[in-house]
Amino acid sequence: MKDKTVYIISGPTAVGKSVIAYYLAKRIRGEIINCDSIQLYRFMDIGSAKPSDNEMHKIKHHLYSIVNPDYNMTAATYQKLALRVIDDILERGKTPILCGGTGLYLNSIIYDMNFAGHQSDPARRKELEEMAERMGGEYMHKYLEALDPDSASRIHPNNTRKVVRAIEAYEYGNGIRNLSDCRLNPDYDFKFIALTMDRQWLYERINNRVLRLIKDGLVDEVRWLLEQGYSLENPSMKGIGYKEVVGYILGEYSLDDAKELIMKNTRHYAKRQLTWLRRYGNVKWIEIKRGESVGSIVDKILAISRSQTRDQR
């Protein structure tokens, strides 16, 4: 019988997902598939903390830098791309390792979600987007809450684009389904690992990473993107790290203020990622301790995998 094992390495930003997925891949003849919304975009390397060229050369990585920053990637398109890559890796006798923390993309793979029936009316979408621009994000979130409280509870009020899409989906009878209403994708055997660590340590890592990204040239990267015509109108440029640096470049605040904003917004995002991951019933948590080696964490992942395989027999 063909092996259907697919590893998922998720967790909050800055917890170390990429490096752990890399060393796991070395141990199990694996190939890594991106599940981070910003790492999909070309030219957005520093701010999205993509794996290094050296790592990508040694272990095959998929779905990194595949579209330009003005492309509007949807969960439906991501699902189609990722499932095609997963099947190709399995056909070649290797093991797919999905790595990232974008919840909607994880859902599209883990659950048997069919996007084929989704309808869209460009005129209505434009109307909703203009309403959001006129009335503001908070108003739109309350509007969604009145229509579909369950969907509103799962979308952050500041994420106006997703709020608009959820209103549109509700109006066409395609509201966001609760996970309890979705069955697991039966085509794969998921080994779903969520990494975590002491919150104070995670916040230290986030703060240090922001300082490193600035030192590595994040400001120059964002300035170049603006010079190419990309702007906050593009969803990719609203990613954490990019939107705050845009504000600095436009003279809205100092670089030190931009750093503090990125740190704060990244910490808040990490909290939301952890909350999202706790909703899954099939996830196994690994808490990383200070001083623990990457090899030890990979050992734990493989031990969990062996245990799950035995339980399934």
Mean pLDDT score of the chain? 91
DSSP 16: -
- Spatial separation of the C-alpha atoms in residues 181 and 26, rounded to whole Å: 36
pLDDT tens-digit map of 55-110: 999 999 999 999 999 998 888 899 999 999 999 999 999 999 999 999 889 999 99
CA pseudo-torsion sign 304, 278, 292, 20? positive
pLDDT tens-digit map of 164-203: 988 887 766 555 555 666 789 999 999 999 999 999 999 9
The domain defined by 5-114+188-312 folds into: Rossmann fold (3.40.50)
Rg (CA), the chain: 20
Domain boundaries, the chain: 5-114+188-312, 122-173
The CATH class for the domain spanning 122-173 reads mainly alpha
Amino acid at 40: L
Please say whether the beta carbons of 214 and 225 come within 8 A.
no
Burial (CB count <10 Å: 0-12, 13-18, 19+), residue 56? middle
Across residues 215-229, what is the average pLDDT?
A: 98
pLDDT tens-digit map of 24-37: 999 999 999 999 99
Q: At 286, which helix (H) or strand (E)?
A: strand 284-288
**pLDDT over 60 at 232, yes or no:** yes
pLDDT tens-digit map of 144-154: 887 777 678 77
CA pseudo-torsion sign 20, 262, 79, 177? positive
Residue 140 burial (CB count, 10 A): 24
- Spatial separation of the C-alpha atoms in residues 261 and 152, rounded to whole Å: 25
